[in-house]
Structure 1
Amino acid sequence: MSVESVVAAPIAKTVPTERVHHGDVFVDEYEWLRDKENPEVIAYLEAENAYTEARTAHLGGLRDTIFDEIKSRTQETDLSVPTRMGQYWYYSRSFEGKQYGVHCRCPIDANADGIDAWTPPQLEVGTEVEGEQVLLDSNVLAEGHNFFALGAFSLSHDGTLLAYSVDTVGDERYTLRFKDLGTGELLGDEIVGTAPGATWSLDGTHVFYQTVDESWRPDTVWRHRLGTATEADAKVFHEPDERYWVSIGATRSEKFLMIWVGSKITTEGWVLESDNPEGEFRVILERREGVEYSAEHAVIAGEDRFLILHNDVVDGVKAQNFVLADAPVADPSNMTLLIGHRDDVRLEDIDPFSDHLVLSYRREALTRVAIWPLTDTGYGERRELEFDLELFSVGSGSNPEWEQPTLRIGLTSFITPTQVFDYVPATGALLLRKEQPVLGGYDANDYEQHRDWALAEDGTRVPISLVWKKGLPEGPKPLLLYGYGSYEASMDPAFSVSRLSLLDRGMVFAVAHVRGGGEMGRLWYENGKTLTKKNTFTDFVSCARHLIDTGVTVADRMIADGGSAGGLLVGAVANLAPELFAGILANVPFVDPLTSILDPSLPLTVIEWDEWGNPLADKDVYDYMKSYAPYENVEAKDYPAILAITSLNDTRVLYVEPAKWIAKLRVTKTGDSPLLLKTEMSAGHGGVSGRYEKWKEVGFEYAWVLDTLGLSGE
């Protein structure tokens, strides 16, 4: 007896709802699914879950096998590389059988000096650490909750107090608590409804935190004095403009507190001396539409200066990829250019230390790091760190101290488990402190990674990253093509233990670095947003065609994979070129973007107008978005198999979007390819919490991928 005869595919009822904008009438028959307080909505989602479980029940064994593979390759009881701050080494532990991490510290060796004092202790699994103190055990905090997320984890500068916050619902609103690390006791202070994060004043008497508005936009910074009632907290900063979000932090030197106000295209910074927490913040450079900047404090030749990355006009030309300047703290507008604009290099970050700077940038779709010594007279000679890998990701690690003789660096690639180095600027030595353990005899030499380039419809070269296991048979191979392409986010090469379960079964994993992302610089992003957004989708199609044309794969052996804004990408591609794919895997997919962006009351919508355009005010934007919105462009044609995964409590991409999409596809499309919707009924945008639950979810998705490509029995 077939599964279909046992469990029928749910068919959502239709309740026609008119949406009228710019003279266009769109009849939405599934908008009623938005009301998650309606028992009918919950019943429908549960029916979809039951159908999905029935259609995939035969994969239970494969799911378990993949889960076991991930588990067997993971050193479940492990420790991170300790990071020195003050008189302690800080690190986290994981334990076999436990879902969450445990944050710990142990004292430094008071007798060590020089580089030895900065050489982290070699902590062994199963060996008791002398003087170890457990600061926070997330497993204890998560007890009794279906969901758990840690938000803030912030130590006072003297190391005596810990501010931390937790979310046990998945809605990204946290409760902030304080712990005395001397006694282990919680203080009486408790602040509910905060955004993640907490920033201490220099003396540890005050904590600055943020709250969000009804649209989940961080809009207000508050100052709390320990030991006082929350009602007495001072509102330090409020941003009324709904296009901007607010954050607070401190400079690396800890000398200044910084409030940052940012939209997608404009930023503004405010500064206050950290030893004067009740003082008034002052603006660094007043906001100007379309100008972004960041500022960090450095001491250059004995003078306090701000290092400013910005994309303002320089010598009559807009510095799209940013330039670096410095300026006196007392007069930030009096800037001296340090690094000019380059079309092929995107400057991303600057980290000052007492005697050197760390510059982070990207070139040729790869991240880069350079060390820039500081001398008595100013700046020395920059040196870029080099690695013998075709593809890699490199960046600064945890470096909390202002004065330290080492620089923590992280390196990974598709075939390189994450490596943690300490770089010694004085000698150029690169000291390997740890490589992510992969159990079961993993050997990077068994795999290979490669960069290829596809030609987009307009002739633009689009990078593709690929990884596979050596020795695969000749001819087309099963392939998972991943893409994102929004918000200038870059999908950089990174190792994945779970991905080995696909590679070892003969699959190729590929990333299409499409426009809308940031891999190739700011213009790569600019040419994949607002009224050029369709480049994101057509670039992905071009990458898929290239992989077919070059014989890497064929259409019936390729699956498109994307989540969130990447879900919009694969949803649009399903409409554009369904014939190129055997399946579409869409996680928390943004497949009804026009409905969402038209509603300013929805979480984060107004902020999104700089990314997508404002369809409320602009008919051209409305028409353009309507022309690519996956939900509104579902047609009576054959689609690939689709698995959409969402979360009931997601505040970023509401569950209703994939629910409506699948409901409409089911009654509109032709052919017999299965449509599956899986809703986590107690999770947010990041999906389920806890590592074992996440591994089970990966097992579910990968089993579906393998089954869709006919590999479930291999």
Structure 2
Amino acid sequence: MTSSQPPVAKKVARERVQHGDTVVDEYFWLADKEDPDTIAYLTAENEFTEARTGHLAGLRETVFGEIKARTQETDLSVPSRKGGYWYYSRTVEGQQYGIFCRRPAAPGEVDPPATGDGAPLPGEEILLDGNELAQGHDFFALGTSDVSPDGRWLAYSTDFAGNERFTLQVKDLSTGEVLHDRIPDTFYGSAWSADASTLFYLTVDESWRPYRVWRHVLGTGADADQVVYEEPDEKFWVSVELTRSERFIFIDAASKLTSEVRFIPAAEPMATPVVVAPRRQGVEYAVEHHGHRFLILHNDGAEDFALAYTPVDAPGAWTPLIDHEPGTRLLSVDAFDRYLVVSLRRDGLTGLRVMPLDGGGQYDMRFPEPLYSVEPGANPEYGTDVFRLHYTSLIVPDSIYDCDLGSGELVLRKRQPVLPAPSGAPYRAEDYEQHREWALADDGTRVPISLVCRRGTARDGSAPTVLYGYGSYEASMDPWFSIARLSLLDRGVVFAIAHVRGGGELGRAWYDHGKMLAKKNSFTDFVACARHLVKEGWTATDRLVARGASAGGLLMGAVANLAPDAFAGIVAQVPFVDALNSILDPSLPLTVTEWEEWGNPLADPEVYAYMKSYTPYENLSTVDYPAILAMTSLNDTRVLYHEPAKWVARLRDRSPNSDVLLKIEMEAGHGGPSGRYDTWKEEAFVIAWILDRFGSAVSAS
């Protein structure tokens, strides 16, 4: 076998019997990454992909150059005030990772320091330099970065494999010394006690579920740490955080459907956690501290959530604050000394509502574009009247605003720079246009589509198009700006987002109607969106490429089986394409926690039959599939690498004439490469492959 020929995976029969159904999985052996045959096969796949895409090397380099040229490589984030310091991060041209810094606040300084050309601020103190930490490693990621309330200590954790197993350490910011407090195998998140003597952190069980909260006393060995809380129910994940007011530490246990919050006074780190409200199946709630009360965002009798409060001293009954309003999904609440800011979504758009606590009238912030996305930014100070937010759209780069909560005035602090293309052409938002379309699903449901294109793009079916989708976990694919996407748009490509059911774009019901025994709605919605774009003249089937990742990769695999004729190509990144086999195995990471999203095929024959009817790996046929690019990472703990590897092997066996490629990152995790240049190269690889699918339909850049 040479790299010019697709690898042929050996077949090793393995039978699975479930609910009287016998299924043979001939590629199960690929799940063993300690097997030299597995590594040899994956290596051969990479060699084959490299051989098949070798003709795109020049285009990849061109696209990478475009991304790089348009990005201000030496840059600095808008500083955020916390205590006596301004905290920020910056990047330096030629360096892969961010540098995390702070600068003392001058007396009376209210506005954040000007970021200028991205150069270090006067008086800068470097907290962490990701480039130094990453030296000698092919992969690097930070898990937590948490400064203590007194500003002296920094808790941070690092991962050098991509498997999201972090080593937690503590740095003395007064001396720069890293303490001997070294704790391996921790998870994201941490919380300091009020006096910074104690650090709370998380560890995972064998299934990668964060389930224990530990108490670590600074200066002691990890072997002396004590478990503060352990969650026995395998459906629940645990998190820990210090409130903005710094008065309480919250321990949140949540499944897909149910939650329960405990608190510890931050001034009493040895105290036993107290439950805010005992868990009730199907009731979700989140807690925010505000003065004498806990604010409760909940769905108890409120499908799209309501806001209530309960006393801090004796948590009990919930007093309504914002009643349930069907169609207005409350997402979160940020509490400050004199204001509340509620994040919400309505009519497919996100929003922010300000509630003054001095008797003034509440108001919703207004934004000028028909399509946009807005969300809270970094707001670490409790006693502030200024709220930081992020605003973006398909044509407006990420923009940082400070809102005066009293007047509602918005002050633009920074907009993501977009530098001229290599040709010298500047970026001008007015050269592009964005639209909202509505497709009609099989059951009559109207499904929104957001799209962006060059101004004046013809509606005659000639434009090549990329259709992106996700549709799971109530995650909303709200409009966002992308510098890399410009390399598609400037070649005449339309970019569209199918807001299919299973996401949260239109409220909780939109999510509920795309999960469990209604999951197929996600797939048929996506196909309906594809058909709509063709019908309305945006594109044609021979110039339409679908793209999705993770659960969106499941979407890609499902629509490939459902409507192979609808697409010229499909990009499936870290795709969850062997969902049934994974959900049947409770020993795998995340499986038990996923049963409330997909159903439990182990216990329920109806769920088993339903999942088997749509899981991509189980439903491959002998039809000719569109060209497929599958991408994965060897150390992914969320969607294991063997899912796309098995899928590709079976796809080639069932449909040998189909053009299928598999690309595996051998030193990365779920998010792919970690350095920004490596990430750009990976995106350039995908864009070049997509452009190759379009062929002569693509305009010259």
TM over 0.5: yes
In structure 1, how many angstroms separate the alpha carbons of the residues matched to 2:389 and 2:239?
Answer: 25
1:344-493 to structure 2, matched below 5 A, reads 344-375=327-358, 380-440=360-420, 441-476=426-461, 477-493=463-479
Partner of 1:681: 666
Give the percent of matched residue pairs that are identical in Structure 1 and Structure 2: 59
- After superposition, where does 1:191-590 map in structure 2 within 5 Å? 191-299=183-291, 304-313=292-301, 319-375=302-358, 380-440=360-420, 441-476=426-461, 477-590=463-576
CA contact (8 A) 1:642 1:675 kept: yes
Q: Measure the CA separation in 2 of the matches of 1:559 and 1:212.
A: 38
Say whether 1:105 aligns with 2:105.
Answer: no
**Where does 1:26-175 land on structure 2 (aligned, <5 Å)?**
26-110=23-107, 112=108, 117-125=109-117, 127=119, 129-175=121-167
CA shift for structure 1 position 124: 2.4
Letter in structure 2 aligned against 1:305: R
Find the residue that maps to 2:525 and give its secondary structure. Answer: helix
Contact map agreement 1:118 1:405 (CA 8 A) in 2: no
Contact 1:21–1:616 (Cα < 8 Å) also in 2:
yes
Q: Deviations over 1:125-174 (max 9, x none)?
A: 36552211111100000000000001110000111110000000111010
SS in structure 1 of the partner of residue 114 of structure 2: coil
Q: In 1, distance between residues paired with 2:2 and 2:594?
A: 44
Residue type at the aligned position of 1:675: V
Q: Note the alpha carbon deviations across 1:450-496, whole angstroms, 9 max, x for none.
A: 11111111111111000001133452110000000000000011110
Does the C-alpha gap of structure 1 residues 705 and 397 become closer, same or farther in structure 2, counting only changes over 3 Å? same
Quick one: distance in 2 between partners of 1:584 and 1:411?
Answer: 30
TM-score scaled by structure 2?
0.97
Task: Measure how far apart 1:332 and its partner are.
Answer: 2.8
SS in structure 2 opposite 1:70? helix
1:133–1:273 distance in 2 versus 1, CA, 3 Å: same
Residues 532-573 of structure 1: per-residue CA shift (max 9 Å, x gap): 000000000111111111111110000110100000001000
Distance apart, 1:673 and its partner CA:
3.6
> Partner of 1:524: helix, strand, or coil?
helix
- State the shift of 1:409 in Å: 1.2
Note the C-alpha offset of 1:407: 1.0
C-alpha deviation, 1:385, in angstroms: 0.5
- Aligned counterparts of 1:616 and 1:64: Cα–Cα separation in 2: 48
Equivalent residue letter for 2:237: W
SS at match of 1:709: helix
- Which residue is 1:25 aligned to? 22
CA distance in 2, matches of 1:521, 1:393: 15
Whole-angstrom distance in 1 between the partners of 2:113 and 2:312: 38
Check conservation: 1:118, 1:406, Cα contact below 8 A. Answer: no
> Displacement, 1:10?
1.0
SS in 2 for 1:195: strand
Structure 2 runs not aligned, ≥5 long: 421-425
Counterpart residue number, 1:316: none
Name which of structure 1's ranges 96-105 and 329-338 shifts more when overlaid on structure 2.
329-338
Cα separation, partners in 2 of 1:126 and 1:558, compared to 1, 3 Å: closer
Q: Deviations over 1:656-696 (max 9, x none)?
A: 110111101101116x3410000111111111110000000
8 Å Cα contact 2:3/2:44 also seen in 1 = no
CA–CA distance in 2 between the matches of 1:550 and 1:700? 30
Q: Is the 8 A contact 1:419 1:434 kept in 2?
A: yes
SS across alignment from 2:211 = strand
Q: Take 2:316 and 2:120, find their aligned partners in 1: how far apart are those partners?
A: 54
- Spell out the pairing of 1:618-629 with structure 2 (5 A cutoff): 618-629=604-615
For 2:278 and 2:375, how far apart are their aligned partners in 1? Answer: 30
TM-score (norm 1): 0.96
Tell me how far 1:713 sits from its aligned partner.
8.3
**Closer, same or farther in 2 for the Cα pair 1:623/1:257, shift >3 Å?**
same
1:409 counterpart letter in structure 2:
L
Secondary structure, in 3 states, of the residue corresponding to 1:688? coil
CA distance in 2, matches of 1:228, 1:122: 41
Shift of 1:123: 2.7
1:341 Cα offset (Å): 1.5
Please say if 1:633 is aligned against 2:630. Answer: no
Q: Is the 8 A contact 2:86 2:112 kept in 1?
A: yes
Structure 1 residue 356: Cα displacement: 0.3
Q: Which amino acid aligns with 2:389?
A: I
Distance change in 2, residues 1:483/1:6 (3 Å): closer
Mapped partners of 2:242, 2:428: distance in 1: 41
2:53 alignment partner, SS class: helix
Counterparts of 1:697 and 1:258, CA distance in 2: 38
Q: Distance in 1 between the 2:670 and 2:391 partners? A: 27
- Give 1:334's aligned amino acid: A
| Per-residue Cα deviation, 1:253-289 (whole angstroms, up to 9, x for no partner) | 1111100000000000001111000111110000011
Q: Cα deviations across residues 231-274 of structure 1 (Å, max 9, x unaligned)?
A: 11010000111111100112221111100000000000001111
TM-superposed CA distance for 1:5, in Å, is 9.0
In structure 2, the CA distance between the partners of 1:297 and 1:6, relative to structure 1 (3 Å rule), is: closer
Gaps of 5+ in 1: 314-318
Aligned-CA RMSD value: 1.2
How many equivalent residue pairs? 693
Please, which moves more after superposition, 70-79 or 241-250? 241-250
Secondary structure, aligned partner of 2:475: coil
Q: Quote the offset at 1:330 in angstroms.
A: 2.7
Check 1:266–1:6 CA distance in 2 against 1; reply closer, same or farther (3 A cut): closer
Aligned residue for 1:655?
641
Distance apart, 1:75 and its partner CA: 0.2
- Distance (Å, rounded) in 2 between the aligned partners of 1:193 and 1:6: 38
Change over 3 Å in CA distance of 1:648–1:128 after alignment to 2: closer
- Counterpart residue type for residue 157 of structure 1: P
After superposing the two structures, state which structure 1 stretch, 417-426 or 136-145, moved more.
Answer: 417-426
User: Quick one: which amino acid aligns to residue 247 of structure 1?
Assistant: S
Return the letter of the residue paired with 1:309.
L
Inter-partner Cα distance in structure 2 for 1:405 and 1:217: 38
Instruction: Please state how far the C-alpha of 1:326 moved relative to its aligned partner.
Output: 1.5
Write the letter of the residue equivalent to 2:14.
Answer: T
Q: Is residue 90–residue 105 contact of structure 1 (8 Å, CA) maintained in 2?
A: yes
1:609 is aligned to 595
From 655, 659, 670, the equivalent of 1:669 is: 655
